[in-house]
Amino acid sequence: MDRIDRMQLFARIVEGGSFVKAAAELGMARSTATQAIKALEQELGVRLLARTTRHVSPTPDGEEYHARVRAILSEIEAAHSAFSADSPSGHLRIDAPGLLTRTFIVPRLPAFLTRHPRITVQFGQGERLVDLVREGVDCALRAGEPEDSSLMMRRLGELPEITCASPAYIQTHGMPKSIDALDGHRMVGFVSSRTGKVMPLEFVQNGRVQTRTLPVAVSSDSADTTADLARMGFGLIQAPRYRFAQELAQGDLVEVLPDVPPAPMPLNVLHPQDRQVSRRLAVFLDWLKEVFADLP
């Protein structure tokens, strides 16, 4: 096994968290994979992986080495793909919000994989901020304006936002007729992963964004949890309209202040800029543009 093969094996182990899975993907015995990583660690003079009976994770040195290995492997693949007539192939790691993935991407995914049968896709759907380079993620879908200027960004569209509440909440607190009538109301607190603070409500009135921070009884940094809290009547909530399409249709939530909705949320796809875009990522990014082309 040469150096490039060991790099590829190491990357698969880190990204899959398993020697067995990586060995199976590369068609080798687990014992062969174990000996190859031991030889790699001896050659480098550092410990790359921390092993337990159930999981394998990179050490700090392993994380740094993995970031460099991913960049090297991507460059090798890009160089090969540039002169290859074969269809795009390989594994894509995508990080995206779960509901957005299930609503927009998964229903259309069979068509993409039929068009590109040699590509496999893995979705990561945690709510934490992901280090794309360090964790070997090819691209991430993010709502809002990104703050990391080291990443390349493609705008996919804008997600219409809505203010709503449960019928039980409206029955208790009344339906506000204007922004100035929000005194006495409360909101479900959504905690920003960037600031650690509860985000205010936003309303667009006469072309200007106005914010209101209402009393909060319960808050969370999980979009799914805050959605549940809103359905239970804990206060007003703002979110992309698609998130509450079913609840609005069923009457479990009602729209509030429709004449002054929140500003639409930009939707972007981000990928590392210090890495040559592989053919599989290029066709996936083009396909994403098609998927979200019909957004208002």
Last residue of a domain, one of 34, 60, 84: 84
Please indicate, yes or no, whether residues 71 and 122 belong to a single structural domain of this protein. Answer: no
Q: Where are the alpha helices (DSSP H) in 83-209?
A: 98-100, 109-115, 132-135, 167-173
Residue 116 has pLDDT above 80, yes or no: yes
Per-residue pLDDT, 296: 62
More confident position, 126 or 137: 137
In DSSP notation, 128-158 reads S---HHHHT--EEEEES----TTEEEEEEEE
Please indicate, yes or no, whether residues 10 and 145 belong to a single structural domain of this protein. Answer: no
Residue burial 194-232, b: 16+ Cβ < 10 Å; e: rest? eeeebbebbbeeeeeeeeeebeeeebbeebeebbebbbe
Residue 85 has pLDDT above 60, yes or no: no
Residue 239 has pLDDT above 90, yes or no: yes
Bridge partners (DSSP) of residue 139 are 94
Angle at CA of residue 41, ends 37 and 45, nearest 5°: 175
Per-residue pLDDT, 21: 85
Q: What is the pLDDT of residues 187-217, one digit of tens each?
A: 999 998 778 899 999 999 998 999 999 999 9
Domain CATH for 127:
3.40.190.10
Distance, CA of 217 to chain centre: 28
Query: What is the length of the chain?
Result: 296
Three-state SS at 53: coil
Bridge partners (DSSP) of residue 153 are 270
Sequence-distant (6+) residues with CB within 8 A of 83 are none
Please indicate, yes or no, whether residues 250 and 111 belong to a single structural domain of this protein. Answer: no
Residue 205's domain spans which residues?
161-263
Please indicate, yes or no, whether residues 167 and 256 belong to a single structural domain of this protein. Answer: yes
Mean pLDDT rounded to a whole number for the chain: 88
**Torsions phi, psi of 291, nearest 5?**
-60, -45
Residue 219's identity, in one-letter code, is S
CB atoms closer than 10 angstroms to residue 19:
20
Last residue of a domain, one of 56, 84, 112: 84
Please indicate, yes or no, whether residues 246 and 270 belong to a single structural domain of this protein. Answer: no
Please indicate, yes or no, whether residues 169 and 253 belong to a single structural domain of this protein. Answer: yes
Task: Measure the CA–CA gap between 106 and 47, rounded to whole angstroms.
Answer: 39
Instruction: Look up residue 254 and give its two tokens.
Output: 């009602």
Sequence-distant (6+) residues with CB within 8 A of 122 are 91, 92, 93, 94
Sequence-distant (6+) residues with CB within 8 A of 21 are 12
Please indicate, yes or no, whether residues 182 and 257 belong to a single structural domain of this protein. Answer: yes
Task: Measure the CA–CA gap between 90 and 148, rounded to whole angstroms.
Answer: 27
Please indicate, yes or no, whether residues 150 and 71 belong to a single structural domain of this protein. Answer: no
Task: Measure the CA–CA gap between 209 and 202, rounded to whole angstroms.
Answer: 6
Lowest-confidence segment of 44-53, 171-180, 185-194, 273-282 by average pLDDT: 273-282
DSSP 8-state class, residue 45: T
Per-residue pLDDT, 32: 92
Q: What is the pLDDT of residues 41-70, one digit of tens each?
A: 999 999 999 987 677 889 999 989 988 888
Residue 266's identity, in one-letter code, is P
Please indicate, yes or no, whether residues 97 and 69 belong to a single structural domain of this protein. Answer: no
Beta strands across the sheet bearing 139-143: 119-124, 90-95, 139-143, 265-272, 151-159
> Are the beta carbons of 244 and 253 closer than 8 angstroms?
yes
Please indicate, yes or no, whether residues 153 and 271 belong to a single structural domain of this protein. Answer: yes
Lowest-confidence segment of 71-85, 116-130, 232-246, 267-281 by average pLDDT: 71-85
Average pLDDT over residues 162-188: 95
Instruction: Look up residue 200 and give its two tokens.
Output: 């205010």
Per-residue pLDDT, 217: 93
Domain CATH for 44:
1.10.10.10
Per-residue pLDDT, 258: 95
Last residue of a domain, one of 84, 102, 127: 84
Most confident residue range from 30-34, 66-70, 112-116: 112-116
Please indicate, yes or no, whether residues 241 and 121 belong to a single structural domain of this protein. Answer: no
- Using pLDDT thresholds of 50, 70 and 90, give the confidence band for residue 148: low
Three-state SS at 231: helix
Please tell me the total count of domains within the chain: 3
Please indicate, yes or no, whether residues 271 and 256 belong to a single structural domain of this protein. Answer: no
- Looking at the whole model, is its pTM more than 0.85? no
Sequence-distant (6+) residues with CB within 8 A of 75 are 275, 276
